[in-house]
Structure 1
Amino acid sequence: MTFKQLETIFWVVQLGGFAHAANKMHTTQSAVSKRVQELEALFETPLFDRSLRSARLTEKGEEMFLLAKRLLEQRDAAVEQFQRPEVMERHVRIGVTELTAMTWLPRLVGAIQAKYPRVIIEPYVEVSVMLRDKLLADEIDLMIVPDVFNEQRFLSKRVGVVENVWMCKPGLVGQPHRLRMHELAAHRLLTQDGRSGTGQLYNRWFRSIGVNHENTLFSNSVVAIIGLTVSGMGISYLPKKCLAPMVDSGALQELTVIPALPLATYAAIWKSDRKSTLISSIATLAQEKCDFRRMFQTG
């Protein structure tokens, strides 16, 4: 039994088919089929149910997949422990939310490439709940999201905080003055729903202070919410520092609302059963490079 055979079983299952696995492993579909057949011959048992059109595992195939996953993880951990950073080769899939992608993600990728020049980074930009599901399904290796998931299956490192404030089109609420949360009910709110980590954080907070706004428009795109806010469609909570230039230019107006929104803490999160020094090191780099103060950072 070889690691190539184990990798083949792993990727066929992860990607849902022999053709996808062949593409991932930069080989042919016939080579993938041959490796599977070699394992089946070695253990004298079918690993896939060939009566179905999809790559469906048999009961023994399920056992082989779990074994392959465990052995590959142990191999990767051993290689990381003894290999020098400059020669380490891996693909690392990092999931981030839109705000991180719009601010400091390029700085993080640059720092990873400087320390691990042969590691290939594959970024995924999604809402927090989708990234959590991808992490649990081993479709990504690490996610950087608002720290709202209290899961024992995860390890995490706090990377930074975002100060969000209420903003609107200048003049939408009349003369600037201190507002209380219930006064915002006279206007449409532009917010994120429960699929967003920030949406979860603030929706919980609204409930904790007894606030319920019915006139709400939901979007999980930060860019869309900024655009709707600038156009005067409503009031939204937006990151204070990175949108300061838009406030200074008169495109947005910052409102003083009592009580103030709580800070949104962001964390680098990965699965606790993945003993990877590389992933832990990338989380530390995220702590060092996290900077939500400026949009579209390049260095």
Structure 2
Amino acid sequence: MFSFKQLEALYWIATLGGFAPAARKLNTTQSAVSKRIKELEASFDTPLFDREHRQARLTEKGEEMLLIARRLLEQRDIAIEQFSKPEVIERRLRIGVTELTAMTWLPRLVRRIHQHYPRVVIEPDVDLSVHLRDKLQNDEMDAIIVPDAFTDPGLSALPLASVKSVWLARPGLIGERKRPLRMHELASHTILTQGNKSGTGIIYDRWIKSQSIFPGHSLSCSSVVALIGLTVSGMGVSYLPYQPLRPLIESGTLEIIETTPKLPDVPYVALYRSERKSSFISSILMLAQECCAFSDMFQIEELAGQQHARKRNSGPFF
């Protein structure tokens, strides 16, 4: 008789293309995965993998068993989610977020997930949008929260919220202005960008090119925190999220550079693999929709109104 652990080993070896990535996915050792496959093969007295090749390649019988394993595992997951109460569900949740999400509403989301699923182990991964997209495609993530910069037929998107961005610079860097700058005037200054690995960077790079604007000098930085630091130090003009940086604007540390046209908002979405969606993932995405707010840095759910006021006045960083 075979076990679900053996079927999982077969499924993930075939899906990820090898014993080593399957072991990482299952949070076990490569030898343990190999043992499960040998036990599964012994149960049917037939080889499931062609061992004459370096890569894990299924035999004809292995392909047949893979179809069976996929159906059985899907039915098992459906049964567990339908008949288990949220407080008793035990599993890992691998969720990828951008730096901006991590600095704003990720703490609220983690708290809400813990409240609904106390036995779920949450594994947040903070990375650039392109890297998160790649991890999701490789089934290293269950869901990611990124700017809506990607189109992939295998991924589904759930809209969350939009981020209002403005051009910011150190006061005095641009000089006196009696009207909003045209984009070609702004482009005469050093433009600080988020680069082509950032979802926001991709969206704004497309937009700037659509305006037929080609900055004479630009500096790309993948970190939002570092980009804020470069902008504060007067290294150039950058597009940055307005709401979280209001304290720096109101204190005079940064000033808004009005332009025509204005920057478009950046829509954020939750991406997940279409064939991997479940009622659990649907519930997590609903919580993300409820929590998503790019308003303040390091958001937590306050117990009293005065605590909230104190937090709002404390500035964007500790």
Q: What SS does structure 2 have at the residue aligned with 1:170?
A: coil
Q: What SS does structure 1 have at the residue aligned with 2:299?
A: coil
Q: Which residue of 2 aligns with 1:56?
A: 56
**Aligned partners of 1:148 and 1:290: how far apart in 2?**
18
Q: Which residue of 2 aligns with 1:283?
A: 285
Deviates more, 1:35-44 or 1:177-186: 35-44
Runs of 4+ deviating beyond 6 Å? none
Structure 2: which 5+ runs fail to align?
A: 302-318
- Per the TM alignment, residue 4 of structure 1 is displaced from its structure 2 partner at its CA by 1.2
Whether 2:23 is the aligned partner of 1:21: answer: yes
**Aligned partners of 1:18 and 1:152: how far apart in 2?**
27
Check the 8 A contact 1:48/1:55 in 2, yes or no: no
**Aligned partners of 2:119 and 2:6: how far apart in 1?**
24
CA change 1:202–1:31 in 2 (3 A) is: closer
**Aligned partners of 1:63 and 1:193: how far apart in 2?**
45
What letter matches 2:286 in structure 1?
Answer: T
Q: What TM-score, normalized to structure 2?
A: 0.84
**Aligned partners of 2:222 and 2:63: how far apart in 1?**
36
Deviates more, 1:134-143 or 1:9-18: 9-18
**Aligned partners of 1:161 and 1:215: how far apart in 2?**
28
CA change 1:81–1:190 in 2 (3 A) is: same
Q: What SS does structure 2 have at the residue aligned with 1:167?
A: strand
Q: Which residue of 1 aligns with 2:183?
A: 181
Q: Which residue of 2 aligns with 1:230?
A: 232
Deviates more, 1:42-51 or 1:90-99: 42-51
CA change 1:296–1:62 in 2 (3 A) is: farther
Deviates more, 1:79-88 or 1:103-112: 79-88
Q: Deviations over 1:219-277 (max 9, x none)?
A: 22111111111111111000001011111222211111111011111111211112301
Check the 8 A contact 2:50/2:59 in 1, yes or no: no
Check the 8 A contact 1:93/1:141 in 2, yes or no: yes
What letter matches 1:181 in structure 2?
Answer: M
CA change 1:227–1:74 in 2 (3 A) is: farther
Whether 2:275 is the aligned partner of 1:264: answer: no
The within-5 A match list for 1:81-230 is 81-177=82-178, 178-230=180-232
Equivalent in 294, 297, 304 of residue 295 of structure 1: 297
**Aligned partners of 1:209 and 1:131: how far apart in 2?**
29
CA change 1:283–1:69 in 2 (3 A) is: same
Check the 8 A contact 1:128/1:145 in 2, yes or no: yes
Q: What SS does structure 1 have at the residue aligned with 2:228?
A: helix
**Aligned partners of 2:245 and 2:65: how far apart in 1?**
51
**Aligned partners of 1:194 and 1:292: how far apart in 2?**
22
Deviates more, 1:42-51 or 1:237-246: 42-51
- Per the TM alignment, residue 152 of structure 1 is displaced from its structure 2 partner at its CA by 3.1
Q: What TM-score, normalized to structure 1?
A: 0.89
Check the 8 A contact 1:104/1:290 in 2, yes or no: yes
How many residue pairs get aligned? The number is: 297
What is the percent sequence identity of the aligned residues?
54
CA change 1:152–1:221 in 2 (3 A) is: same
**Aligned partners of 1:15 and 1:94: how far apart in 2?**
22
**Aligned partners of 1:279 and 1:272: how far apart in 2?**
11
- Per the TM alignment, residue 71 of structure 1 is displaced from its structure 2 partner at its CA by 3.5
- Per the TM alignment, residue 59 of structure 1 is displaced from its structure 2 partner at its CA by 4.2
Whether 2:48 is the aligned partner of 1:41: answer: no
